[in-house]
Chain A
Amino acid sequence: AQSVTQLGSHVSVSEGALVLLRCNYSSSVPPYLFWYVQYPNQGLQLLLKYTSAATLVKGINGFEAEFKKSETSFHLTKPSAHMSDAAEYFCAVSDPNAGSSNTGKLIFGQGTTLQVKP
């Protein structure tokens, strides 16, 4: 069975500092991996995805993530935090062998709240 673990339910950084949000997955097959962001009282927005192409994935708003199979990790980073990055971030995994829907059935991590201090 697949699972996702996000280390740290709350992360606080200063504006301009490096953002690192951790995600580890468990899967019997190479999965598809996603990072979503949820701003207060809004829906989920896809930041980036890994679908077995390049291991370093660049997303929107300056975020990127690296798929490391040996570490079963897909950590999200941003070199310099901005106040507008404050939000909830979710890592999610899907099974590429899930049949007709490759990405529809997502398993989400518990989420990490990112706080950006001025």
Chain B
Amino acid sequence: SAVISQKPSRDICQRGTSLTIQCQVDSQVTMMFWYRQQPGQSLTLIATANQGSEATYESGFVIDKFPISRPNLTFSTLTVSNMSPEDSSIYLCSVERGMEQYFGPGTRLTVT
């Protein structure tokens, strides 16, 4: 299994500001994934983060809006930049281990 923690667990932010979400895994993993779950919606993959290289973004997501860092094999950050109310979502990081995907508890973001 994998134990994943995220900070903050929730936040309320003003539009136009940025928020950085941290994800910490209990042991080393090659890839970390960031997902978004908009209110009442399913999960959508934002990007895949490998250590030592730029993140790979899915269609509809860009680095300027969602910059990602992956400084080591147990940690990653996702920044939601220049926020608007449409960015209000739960952001989850996940890792793959043993052909299973484990998810963090999520960061609930509300943009006012």
A and B associate in one complex? yes
Which residues of chain A have a CB within 8 Å of any CB of chain B? 32, 34, 36, 42-46, 49, 51, 90, 92, 94, 100-111
The answer to whether A106 and B92 touch (CB under 8 A), given A90-B43, A101-B48, A111-B42, is no
Chain B contact surface mostly: strand
Which residues of chain B have a CB within 8 Å of any CB of chain A? 30-31, 33, 41-45, 48, 92, 94-96, 99-106
Which of B30, B41, B104, B106 is the one whose CB lies under 8 Å from A110?
B41
Q: Is the CB of B42 within 8 A of A100?
A: no
Q: What 7 A-B pairs have minimum CB-CB distances, sorted nearest first?
A: A104-B96, A44-B103, A43-B105, A108-B42, A108-B43, A43-B103, A110-B42
CB neighbours of A101 from chain B (8 A): 30-31, 48, 96
Chain A nearest CB, measured from B48 CB (Å): 7
Q: Is the CB of A46 within 8 A of B42?
A: no
CB neighbours of B104 from chain A (8 A): 43
Report the Cα distance A51→B98, complex, angstroms: 11
